Chain A
Amino acid sequence: MTGDALVELEGVTKRFQRGSGTAVTAVDDVTLSVRRGEVLAVIGYSGAGKSTLVRLVNALEQPTTGTVRVAGQDITRLGEKELRAARAGIGMIFQQFNLLSSRTVAGNVAYPLKVAGVGRAERDRRTAELLDFVGLLDRAHAHPEQLSGGQKQRVGIARALATSPPLLLADEATSALDPETTEEVLTLLRRVNTELGVTVMLITHEMEAVRRVADRVAVMEGGRVVELGDVYDVFTAPQTAAAQRFVRSATHDRPSPEALARLREHHAGRLVTVRVTDRPRLQQTVDAAFRDAGTGAELVFGGVGEIRERRAGSLTYELTGDDAAVARALTALRDQGVSVEEEE
């Protein structure tokens, strides 16, 4: 594997024994690496195995087969003591925050430092620094139940970063939050990555979270990673059905089946969708292809925006003209590397 990988999972399978003797395979032969300094999102529906996958990284779960290396260290072979030391280098935040209700905000952030044997003065200094970073210095002496969900997660993030770990695991960190606080926490996670240089593994079922903070995304289905790529590539050209469903959930430039049915009522021609990427002069290429093939083209649906600061979108045209002309137009576009497909 590449030298710049912070986390390397190799052929990892995790099976859980159920009561009746049947086994459930939560993670199925996954090989995946998280590069140093990136935000890797793992997206999947509930039951796809993503929460189990992230727990294999800090050995909260042991794999049935396969190896898990973090910073070059095979953490499936560590004794309890070494494992505890390794975990100090891996921060984790949770969907339900999992704050200690018997301790104050500052007490929560200081706890991992206490566990690591850091002295009181240094603990206090580091705690104040982290609370300042997440914008909660004024709530240091509050108790967790006095905080809003977004504030709780920010305390969770401060606590996870207390021991200055190079890696942060975020397990559905925004799933219990409303859209506004989700935004706030995602922005903070991005800052953790860019300002502190922490590598982040983000587990989520929300494609919007992927779009906002991730560099790469792994799509999980049935315990397997079915697609892996740069967020931009997966958004603009999802390969698998699972990835396409997720992309559709976060973008609104592709007509839904209902919208398609309405379009067909008013447009007798064939409906084709062109993927918009940041390739130069895309519009000119598309126009020329339609013109040269002799088809009429009417823009009926679509949108163009940005994914990871690059142009991305989708435009649906109604093409009029005989079948041969339409076929010529599609072939010409594909020959020039423009992704185009006919709506079913």
Chain B
Amino acid sequence: MTVEFFDGFLSSTDVFVRAIGQTLLIVSVAMVVSGAVGLVLGVALYATRPGNLFANRLVFGVIGLLVNVIRPIPFVIFLLAVGPLQRLVVGTTLGTEAVTFAIAIAAGFAVARIVEQSLVGVDPGVVEAARAMGASRAAILFGVVVREGLGPLVLGYTFIFVGIVDMSAQAGLVGGGGLGDYAIQYGSQRYDWGVVYAALVAIVAIVVLGQFLGNRLARSVMRR
């Protein structure tokens, strides 16, 4: 390995920096949107579960079915399939915005399951205690269950963060911008492995940093 190995990379650092910025943008917007969508769906899944606070077979069944169908679809295929919806909402199927939209939806359903599981893990005894105090169902759901489940919830978000970074890179296949796009266009298509490895290092750094922050946040939330 010589200096020449990174020649391609060194001559495209402006693109590299822009790609990092795009990846960070895609990932953070997708995190926020999917986090919100997933939180709503996940809380709804938990609350409408048979025998639970707002038990509702229909709502539970529909959301559960959506999550079960959409979540296992490989992202690359989902990205193609979501095209019509992208055109409707974003106006295009290409570019960073379209890709961010697709990621937010796909990740939202994954987050829903993670939120549900974090909440199911909350000690039912605590819920019973809150019921015995005369707390309303909404107060129990948000003031007790979500609050008690916050630690695992943050860990779950950290877990999904890695998935979103992964999706953002795959989005490079449809010209979505970011480090994946950069690695394909400037790297593999030109047989420039220096560029590919630079992208790889940047992605790994983002993931490690994100996980570190997530774990710290979870720890401070759980106070352990």
Question: Residues of A at under 8 Å CB distance from B?
Answer: 58, 60, 80, 83-88, 90, 92, 94, 96, 98-103, 111-112, 115-116, 143, 145, 159, 163, 169
Contact = CB atoms under 8 A, between A and B. Distances in A.
A85 B135 CA distance: 9
B153 to A, nearest CB: 11
Interface stretch (B101-109, B122-130, B164-172): B122-130
A67 B131 CA distance: 20
Interface in B194-208: none
For the complex of A and B, the 4 pairs showing the least CB-CB separation, nearest first, are A87-B134, A98-B129, A84-B134, A98-B125
Chain B interface residue count: which class? Answer: 20 to 34
A92 B125 contact: no
Given A90-B132, A94-B125, A99-B129, 14 more contacts: A58-B132, A80-B136, A84-B135, A87-B134, A92-B129, A94-B128, A96-B123, A96-B125, A98-B125, A98-B126, A100-B126, A100-B130, A111-B143, A143-B223
Nearest to A113: B133
Contacts of B132: 58, 60, 87, 90, 92, 169
Contacts of A116: 134
8 contacts: A85-B134, A92-B129, A94-B128, A99-B126, A102-B147, A111-B130, A115-B133, A115-B134
A111 B132 CA distance: 12
Contact of B144 (A86, A88, A100): A100
Among A84, A85, A86, A99, the most chain B Cβ lie within 10 Å of the Cβ of A84
Which of B125, B134, B135, B148: most chain A CB closer than 10 A?
B134
Contacts of B139: 115
The B interface is mostly helix, strand or loop, or mixed, namely helix
A145 B137 CA distance: 26
Contacts of B137: 80
A334 B125 CA distance: 51
Contacts of A88: 133-134
B147 A60 contact: no
Interface in B141-175: 143-144, 147-148, 150
Contact of A100 (B134, B147, B223, B224): B147
A49 to B, nearest CB: 17
Interface in B170-224: 223-224
B133 A98 contact: no
Nearest to A93: B129
Contacts of B134: 83-88, 112, 115-116
A53 to B, nearest CB: 15
A112 B126 contact: no
Interface in B93-128: 123, 125-126, 128
Contact of B133 (A87, A96, A103, A145): A87
Contacts of A86: 134
